Amino acid sequence: MKYTSHSEYLPMHSVFIKTATDAFIDKVKVHTEWKALRYLSQPDFLESKNEYIAFETLLKNEGVEIQYFPKELHLSLDSIYCRDASIATNYGMIICNMGKASRKGEPPIHKKVFEDKEIHVLGSIESPGTLEGGDVVWLDENTLVVGHSYRTNDEGILQLRNLLYPYNIDVLVVDLPHYNGSSDVLHLMSVISPVDKDLAVVYSPLMPIGFRKELILRGIKLIEVPNDEFESMGCNVLAIAPRKCIMIEGNPKTQKALEDAGCGVLTYKGNEISLKGSGGPTCLTRPLKRG
């Protein structure tokens, strides 16, 4: 079987994750860090572990091969949101440079893990460039969309273009809105989650107009997340196969819209591991290969 990393929706073959046990470490670390990291409230350590086990079980039950990023005491709670520190391509991993200062230690760990596992590293984003994985979305095999945001800057995007230039990848840049300001997180994947080649979950009020028009021009049907389900992360949906996905429970309108579009939807309780830290199922995973 031919596998690809240039997809957000083909059947997920392998994925890296960072468990709540290994990211949150203990109650003391959670208590010490959550305010400075701008979590909505303090996660409950024991319940976080239970929620994560349930989330991990969903992936295992779908036959996904799971690999793990290690426990590192010097990393913050945010390391649970492991998508942000690296990008998967067919030509090797790209190591990011985080726009959030407290997360600068994560990309070197990803690089070491990939090298130890003999997974090719294509290159790294170097300072003054910043780029986070949550700002990057594959539309198709030849089109990578990157959000220009407070976490991903012009220099980071230029370095990404240069790394992918030899492979004829079209890098489409979209400007993200100010929203709640530079201290908050609004990644590109906060407003779009592809769930099939012609279907995506979106939150249009915060979408760049040109990007939304481009999706429609490409024949992609948009499932609109209602206003009252954006903050509860209704737009953060992880496809594990075309029209089969995982989302946080408590977004019934978006879930019904997905089901009406022919999608199978699995849900998990994410009060502690997702909602409080503003990181849904896409953020919790670094997909490696699909196909």
**DSSP secondary structure of 197-210:** TTEEEE-GGGS-HH
pLDDT confidence bin for 234, thresholds 50/70/90? very high
Q: Has residue 192 been placed in a domain?
A: no
Q: Is residue 138 part of a domain?
A: yes
pLDDT at 182 over 90: no
Q: Residue holding tokens 């990644």? A: 187
Residue 60 lies in a domain: yes
Position 233 in a domain? no
Asked if 20 contacts 48 with a C-beta cutoff of 8 angstroms, the reply is yes
* Cα–Cα separations (whole angstroms), residue 156 to 44, 118, 282: 35, 25, 21
| CA atoms of 44 and 11, how far apart (whole Å) | 33
In a domain, 112, yes or no: yes
**DSSP 8-class letter at 271:** I
Q: Which residue has the tokens 């201290």?
A: 183
Residue 16: which domain range?
12-184+270-290
Question: Are the C-beta atoms of 258 and 201 separated by less than 8 Å?
Answer: yes
Q: What is the pLDDT at residue 1? A: 63
Helix (H, G, I), strand (E, B) or coil at 246: strand
- CATH code at 105? 3.75.10.10
Query: What was the pLDDT predicted at 181?
Result: 78
pLDDT in tens, 145-162: 999 999 999 999 999 999
- Based on the structure, what is the number of domains in the chain? 1
* 235 within some domain: no
pTM summary value: 0.97
Note whether residue 195 is domain-resident: no
Does residue 7 sit within a domain?
no
Report the Cα–Cα distance between both ends of the chain, in Å, rounded. 7
